[in-house]
Amino acid sequence: MDKIVIRGGQKLSGSVRISGAKNSALPILAAAMMADSPSILHNVPALKDIQTMMEVLGFLGVQCEKMEPNSVRVDPNGLHQFKAPYNLVRRMRASVSLLGPLLGKFKRAVVSMPGGCVIGPRPIDLHIKGLSALNAKIQVEHGYVVADGTSMRGSDVFLGGRFGSSVLATANVMMAACLTPGVTTLESAACEPEIVDLAQFLKKMGAQIEGEGTHVIRIEGQTSLKGAEHTVIPDRIEAGTYLIAGAMTGGRVEIQNVHYRHLFAVIDKLREAGAYIESRQDTITLRQEDPLKVVDVITLPYPGFPTDMQAQMMALMSITDGISVITEKIYPERFMHISELNRLGAKISLEGSSAVIVGRKKLSGAQVMASDLRASAALILAGLVAEGETQVHRVYHLDRGYERIEEKLRKLGADIERVPETQEEKVTVGEEL
Ligand code: EPZ
């Protein structure tokens, strides 16, 4: 396993190009199996989760071939089975987005339940509710979702849950509905840009969809879909992470290949915190010249402040003079990063699903452990400003969602490198868990 070693104190300055969106590319790769011919996808990020999805698709018979660094050719013609086994699905929760395409294409699906993860329980009741509303017969047995879609037909589906809309449940039902006879209307659908991007790809394949990006999506089922060429949208969470890196180090960071509107809630909060941000075409520039100001944050479904930026915002508030409160409304247990940030000298306490952060002038470098994708990013950000050396262990969490993060940060002037863990670290780090 590798670790990332950072020596804090460098102001970041320069330009960084944002990669394709992980959370768009994953359902789009799954959707490509629904076509009767190959698709070509561009701006696909080179990430572990993408590799995992391609392996799962390969197991089902869908051949994914890397054409250039970030383009993939997906050929569905070898699709020969509809069972996604536990040993593959457990590696990546987003495999649940195979349910809809398999039901749409095969009218059968057997997909392992994804299980929980460190950010909290990851139920799929809304996925099951939505697909059942299309008259799919669904059983959960021996840890698998077993679905029979032979008598599916279009219907009205309400997809709102306790925490608002569900992104992948919206994706699953929308994909299944594209090949289900009749008209399906999704109420309280997720509005995330990744859902819009998936719908754009499905429409290029011949799907009849309208309303994507709103809470009401209408799909008219087709009998078949054809392969299409599509460029994945930029990753708004990667982009927000680099903006916060610039704000934390008091630098000037230009991020290229980004959709300003996808990031509006984050930009709004960073401006409230004292950052100067301007945008033109597909570039956003942040300058942090004034002292940071504390802000309170509540995570909400899009277009609200994204939960996937919560940990990174906490790192920023950890070094901002004053008291701030960050409330997590999407995953109330998504606070694994608090204890590790406190090891770096932060002063954060948890009151229910709200974190109270007392900003400190200085953090001090230490050995910390990554736990989930975005928590890992927050530790890297904190290491950029902590005095001395910070070592972030278990960086495989990072590699799931950030393409070459240490290279991109080094290009901005960070003193950062990726090194293999020593034999002794491999043992002790494992023991700590
Ligand atoms: C997607 O997960 C993203 N992952 C997550 O990003 C992101 O945090 C999340 O959306 C929210 O924006 C991918 O797109 C691969 P949800 P998803 O269903 O679709 C509850 C990252 O770091 N819920 O929108 O699985 C759920 O527990 C990852 O890139 C139900 O109750 O999330 C949560 O509280 C982490 N029942 C809330 O809804 C369900 O059937 C939102 O979850 C489904 C979800």
- One DSSP character per residue, 58-107 reads HHHT-EEEEEETTEEEEEGGG----EE-HHHHTT-GGGGGGHHHHHHHHS
The string of pLDDT tens digits covering residues 42-98 is 999 999 999 999 999 999 999 999 998 899 999 999 999 999 988 888 888 899 999
- What pLDDT was estimated at residue 197? 98
Residue 367 to residue 395: CA distance in whole angstroms: 12
95 and 136 both lie in a single domain:
yes
Give the residue among 26, 25, 33, 34 at the shortest CA–CA distance from 221. Answer: 34
Q: Which residue's alpha carbon is at the smallest distance from atom 4 of ligand 1? A: 23
Give the atom of ligand 1 at the shortest distance from the alpha carbon of 119. Answer: 35
- Report phi then psi at 107, rounded to 5: 60, 15
pLDDT given for residue 116 in this prediction: 66
Q: What is the pLDDT of residue 428?
A: 60
Same domain for 146 and 262: no
Instruction: Say yes or no: CB of residue 26 within 6 Å of ligand 1.
Output: yes
Identify whether residues 226 and 283 lie together within a single domain.
no
Which parts of the chain sit beneath pLDDT 70?
115-116, 427-433
Q: Is 23 in the pocket of ligand 1 (CB under 6 A)?
A: yes
Return the pLDDT at 80.
Answer: 93
Distance of CA 295 to the CA centre of its chain: 24
What's the pLDDT at 409? 98
Q: Which of 201, 231, 261 is the last residue of a domain?
A: 231
- CA-CA-CA-CA torsion sign (133, 135, 136, 138): positive
State if pTM tops 0.85: yes
3-state secondary structure of 40: strand
Q: Is residue 256 located within the same domain as residue 368? A: yes
Residue 375: exposed, middle, or buried by beta-carbon count in 10 A (0-12, 13-18, 19+)?
A: buried
Measuring CA to CA, which residue among 132, 189, 197 is closest to residue 164?
Answer: 189
- In the reported structure, the alpha carbon of residue 165 is separated from the centroid of ligand 1 by a whole-number distance in angstroms of 9
Q: Is the dihedral of CA 208, 135, 162, 111 positive or negative?
A: negative
Same domain flag for 26 and 75: yes
Same domain? 225 vs 372: no
DSSP category for residue 32: G
162: containing domain: 22-231
| Residue 122 Cα to ligand 1 middle (Å) | 7
Nearest CA to ligand 1 atom 21: 308
Domains contained in the chain, number: 2
| Of the candidates 83, 98, 81, the residue with the CA atom closest to the CA atom of residue 32 | 98
pLDDT of residue 147: 97
> Phi and psi (nearest 5°) for 421?
-75, 150
β-pairing verdict for 389-393 and 367-369: parallel
Q: 56, 97, 132, 168: which to mutate for ligand 1, most atoms within 8 A of CB?
A: 168
Does residue 293 share a domain with residue 210?
no
Predicted confidence at residue 427, as pLDDT, reads: 63
Does 182 share its domain with 288? no
CATH code for the domain of 202: 3.65.10.10
Ligand 1 mean position, distance from CA 366 (Å): 31
Residue-wise pLDDT for 317-376, tens only, equals: 999 999 999 999 999 999 999 999 999 999 999 999 999 999 988 999 999 998 889 999
Q: Could you tell me if 202 and 186 are in contact, meaning their C-beta atoms sit under 8 angstroms apart? A: no
What separation in Å is there between the alpha carbon of 237 and the centre of ligand 1? 14
Dihedral in degrees, nearest 10, Cα atoms 433, 417, 93, 160: 110
Residues 178 and 215 in one domain: yes
Structure tokens at 194: 């990744």
Which positions are catalytic?
117
Among 187, 215, 231, give the residue marking a domain's end.
Answer: 231
The last residue of one of the domains, among 175, 200, 231, is 231
CA 89 vs CA 92, 128, 177, 308, 357: distances in Å: 6, 17, 23, 21, 36
Ligand 1 lined by 189 (C-beta under 6 Å): no
Q: Same domain, yes or no, for 315 and 398?
A: yes
State if residue 234 touches ligand 1 by the CB under 6 angstroms criterion. no
Written as six digits, the tokens of 364 are: 């001090």
Which sign, positive or negative, has the C-alpha torsion 358, 356, 401, 247? Answer: negative
Shared domain for 312 and 405, answered yes or no, is yes
Rounded distance from Cα 1 to ligand 1 centre (Å): 28
Question: Cα-atom radius of gyration of the chain, to the nearest Å?
Answer: 22
**Which pLDDT score, from 0 to 100, does residue 433 have?**
39
End-to-end CA distance of the chain: 15
Residues 222, 265 within the same domain:
no
